[in-house]
Structure 1
Amino acid sequence: MELALIGLIVILALALAFDFINGFHDTANAIATSVATKVLTPAQAIGMAAVMNVVGALTGTAVAKTIATDIVPQRFATLELVGAALLSAVFWNLYTWWRGLPSSSSHALIFSLVGAGVAAGGWGIIVPKGVTKTLTGLVTSPVLGFLVPIVLMALLSWLVLRHMRPRSVTRNFRWLQIFSAAFMAFSHGGNDAQKTMGIMTFALSAYFGAQLDHVPLWVILSAAAAMGLGTAVGGWRIIRTMGFKVVDLKPVDGFVAETSAALIIETASRLGIPVSTTHTISTSIMGVGTTKGFRKVKWQVAGRIVQAWVLTIPVCIVLGWAIHKLILLTGV
């Protein structure tokens, strides 16, 4: 077997490993609120999220094409570049998982790719359009994630909640939250799994030395399966942070947070914008919390989450750059 083919196989395996880690790292995005409100047991929530992540991953490739073509042009693709980006993103994901910080797997991958691309050919090979699209999602998704739940909660309170007894609100929204959690898991799969599809397509372009204008079916299916398996494993450290340490949640709160975040993520997926599901659901939970009163949100924990967001971009650019240089230096 030729050395380049072995390299490709290793890179594809690493990409699926990243997807698997992404699944258990970001499981909390879909299920933390439903577990915290006791609408679902942990086992039920993880099982539902795993299935819906797979279903969502099969619904489009717009985000995958952004990753495969709009960050670093395919003509500059090399296996060393892809490998460096993936190693950087995997390292950061595992570190933030270990620390219990809901950082963005999406931005870890994208800006690791930027760092590796700079190491390979300088800033001139980076595609401004793709990075701008990513940064737009980085800024707008958490802002909308914070604001949309406040508006939705106000509408619900005016149209529905003021006419219902508290016990009826809890009973009815327990059922509705199951659907909102499934929608959140579906949207997560639709945006996050596509990033792995994109990096795998980028690796195939590097191996074959040709630009690919579509994502192969086997890439779509394997990425969906890897994310589903990762989700099934679960990420309890982050679930505790997201579901229990930011704000005390009730079923109506979980429904509003999940529905708001899922709508934002699903819209971004259709536009080909790689957003952070973690950023979006985190700020949605904070937004819901502020409707109970500013002091109801545990802002110290929220500050740790924001710290992880801020660090992800520069750390992953540097990591991607350093690992690429190390690979070339050692001849791995």
Structure 2
Amino acid sequence: MDVSFFSFFQQVTSNPVLLITVLLTMGVIFVNGWTDAPNAIATCIATRCMRVRPAIMMSAVFNFLGVLVMTGINSSVASTISNMVDFGGETDKALVALCAALFSIVVYSVAASVFGIPTSESHSLIAGLTGAAIAIQNGLSGVNGAEWVKVLYGLVLSLALGFFSGWIICKVIAALCASMDRRRTSSFFKGAQIFGAAFMSFMHGAQDGQKFIGVLFLGIAFCNGQSSVEGMGIPIWLMLLCSAVMGIGTSVGGEKIIKSVGMDMVKLEKFQGFSADLAGAFCLLLSSVFGIPVSTTHTKTSAIMGVGAVKRLSAINFGVVKDMMLTWVFTFPGCGLISFVIAKLFMALF
């Protein structure tokens, strides 16, 4: 299969379905960078280590680098997403179903925002792909259980490991700095938290960027008559394209999200913000290495809750926990069902 940029450009200009698939994928990546990436810098801004605009630009740069570098080193998350479902051997229908899956994410996200239901682009993507695969295969044979079970591992990692990592790291740092001068440690942790926010942004790009690279690569394979991308290397131009779009999306902002995650959930000091960033980035690194797709938002918020629990459990805003649970309850069946219906509709029309 020819995966050069020139070949891709020719296919996009001659195949309307692939063009729509690319535009939808780019749109979802842009929105992910806009709405998800600000979580990475929320604590850094909340503790006044950086101002909003410089922090957002820093996050944009490190999101770009995260997608580019981590996909080049270890693309296991992209492989998990690509191999999670089987759209069958009819690649024309498979491309239409993939387009339907991406369209369902947009429909579900808009509907969820109207009704105030919390969403996760990562979970929406997984649910959308699964619903479309079930539609085209007329059953669960289109779902790869061995890969899909990694999503369940991701739910545990994003909540349990994020929480306990935040709690342990914060406990250790508090114990090490207990006898130190508070003004000196505050100065140190201001710089450390900027590093932590950059690391967290890098890992956000590495984790979330790979998910959509996997989807777009699958669409290109379908257009070339290939039913899967197993064993194929991801071209560098595709990494650059997706990382650039995510970086641009991040640069747009997300100040409301920063306030919600960094300020409304738990009131943090600088060392606590650094603990949350380090814990969240560690969990994302671990899940990326093992090819486990997780929600970066849930990982970061769980780490913040773990840090808050060091003070006392009552310091945590449990409304955030409720939102995460609602995301899991509604997103998988909701977005999956919408994707199933739209895939059936698209295949009937096209």
Question: Which category describes the TM-score, using the shorter chain as reference length?
Answer: over 0.9
Q: Which residue of 2 aligns with 1:127?
A: 144
For residues 96 and 266 of structure 1, do their structure 2 counterparts lie closer, same or farther at Cα, with a shift above 3 Å needed? Answer: farther
Q: TM-score, normalised by structure 1?
A: 0.93
- Identify which range, 299-308 or 55-64, moves more after superposition: 299-308
Matches within 5 A, 1:66-145: 66-72=80-86, 75=89, 78-94=94-110, 103-121=119-137, 122-145=139-162
Please give the alpha-carbon distance, in whole angstroms, between the structure 1 residues aligned to 2:233 and 2:68.
Answer: 14
Contact 2:81 2:126 in 1 (8 A): yes
140 and 62 in structure 1: CA distance in 2 versus 1, 3 angstrom threshold: same
> Equivalent residue for 1:34?
44
What is the match of residue 195 of structure 1?
A: 211
Match status 1:148 vs 2:158: no
Instruction: Assess if the C-alpha contact under 8 Å between 2:88 and 2:136 holds in 1.
Output: no
Q: Distance in 1 between matches of 2:327 and 2:105?
A: 14
CA shift for structure 1 position 104: 2.2
CA contact (8 A) 2:66 2:201 kept: yes
Separation of aligned partners in 2, 1:194 and 1:74 = 23
The letter of the residue matching 1:24 is: W
> 1:45 matched to which residue of 2?
55
* 1:200-237 deviation line (CA, Å, top 9, x unaligned): 01111211111432222221111111111111112233
Provide the aligned length of Structure 1 versus Structure 2: 330
**CA–CA separation in structure 2 for the residues paired with 1:154 and 1:314:** 38
* 1:14-51 deviation line (CA, Å, top 9, x unaligned): 11111111111102221111111111111011000000
8 Å CA contact retained: 1:153, 1:291:
yes
Per-residue displacement from partner, 1:143-199 (whole Å, max 9, x unpaired)? 1000011111111122x2212233333222111000000000000000100111100
Pairwise CA distance, 1:297: 1.1
Provide the aligned C-alpha RMSD in A: 2.1
2:187 aligns with: 171
1:284 pairs with 2:303: yes
**Equivalent residue number for residue 293 of structure 1:** 312
Alignment correspondent of 1:20: 30
Query: TM-score if structure 2 supplies the norm length?
Result: 0.88
* Letter matched to residue 65 of structure 1: S
Relative to 1, partners in 2 of residues 1:56 and 1:172: Cα closer, same or farther, differing over 3 Å?
A: same
The 8 Å contact of residues 21 and 99 in structure 2, kept in 1 or not, is answered as yes
Change in Cα spacing, 1:74 to 1:292, as seen in structure 2 (3 Å) is: farther
The 8 Å contact of residues 97 and 237 in structure 1, kept in 2 or not, is answered as no
Amino acid at match of 2:274: F
How far did 1:112 drift?
0.8
| Aligned-pair identity (%) | 35
CA distance 1:114–1:263, change in 2 (3 Å) = same
SS at match of 1:58: helix
- Tell me how far apart the structure 1 counterparts of residues 116 and 130 of structure 2 sit (CA, whole Å): 25
The equivalent position to 1:180 in structure 2, one of 196, 212, 215, is: 196
**Which consecutive residues of structure 1, in runs of 5 or more, have no partner in the other structure?**
none
Assess if the C-alpha contact under 8 Å between 1:247 and 1:298 holds in 2.
Answer: yes
Contact 1:4 1:207 in 2 (8 A): no
Residue in structure 2 matching 1:229, options 240, 244, 248: 248
Gaps of 5+ in 2: 1-9
- Structure 1, 312-321 or 160-169: larger mean CA deviation: 160-169
Cα drift, residue 99 of structure 1? 7.6
C-alpha distance in structure 1 between counterparts of 2:65 and 2:116, whole Å: 27
Q: Which amino acid aligns with 2:315?
A: K
1:62 counterpart = 2:76: yes
**Following the alignment from structure 2 to structure 1, what is the Cα–Cα distance between the partners of residues 43 and 322?**
19
Aligned to 2:270: 251
State the Cα deviation string for residues 57-80 of structure 1 (Å, max 9, x = none).
012222111111233367465121
